[in-house]
Amino acid sequence: MAVIELADVSRAFTVTSRSGWRRTRREVRAVDGMTFSVEPGEVMGYIGPNGAGKSTTIKMLTGILVPSGGTIRVAGVDPSRHRLKLARRIGVVFGQRTTLWWDLPLKDSFAVLQKMYDVPLARHRENLATFVELLDLRDLLDVPVRQLSLGQRMRGDIAAALLHDPEIVYLDEPTIGLDVISKARLREFLAQVNAERRTTIILTTHDLDDIEALCTRVMVIDHGHQIFDGTLDGLKSSQSAPRTLVVDLAATLPPIQVTGATVIKTDGPRQHLTFPTNTSAAPLLAEIAANYPLVDLSVSEPTIESVITQLYNTA
Rounded to a whole number of angstroms, the minimum distance from the CB of residue 112 to another protein is 5
Rounded to a whole number of angstroms, the minimum distance from the CB of residue 255 to another protein is 52
Strands laid side by side in the 262-267 sheet: 262-267, 270-275, 243-249, 294-300
Rounded to a whole number of angstroms, the minimum distance from the CB of residue 114 to another protein is 8
Nearer to another protein, 67 or 302 (CB): 67
- Which whole-number Å values give the CA distances from 145 to 40, 86, 137, 156, 189, in the listed order? 33, 27, 12, 9, 21
| DSSP per-residue letters across 124-168 | HHHHHHHHHHHTT-GGGTTSBGGGS-HHHHHHHHHHHHHTT--SE
Nearer to another protein, 94 or 228 (CB): 94
Please report, as ranges, the residues that interact with another protein according to CB under 8 A.
11, 13-14, 56, 59, 62-66, 80, 83-85, 87-88, 90, 92, 94, 97, 99, 101-104, 108, 111-112, 115-118, 144
**What pairs with residue 110 in β-bridges?**
none
Nearer to another protein, 52 or 213 (CB): 52
**What H or E segment, with its residue span, contains residue 283?**
helix 282-291
Rounded to a whole number of angstroms, the minimum distance from the CB of residue 286 to another protein is 60
Rounded to a whole number of angstroms, the minimum distance from the CB of residue 108 to another protein is 5
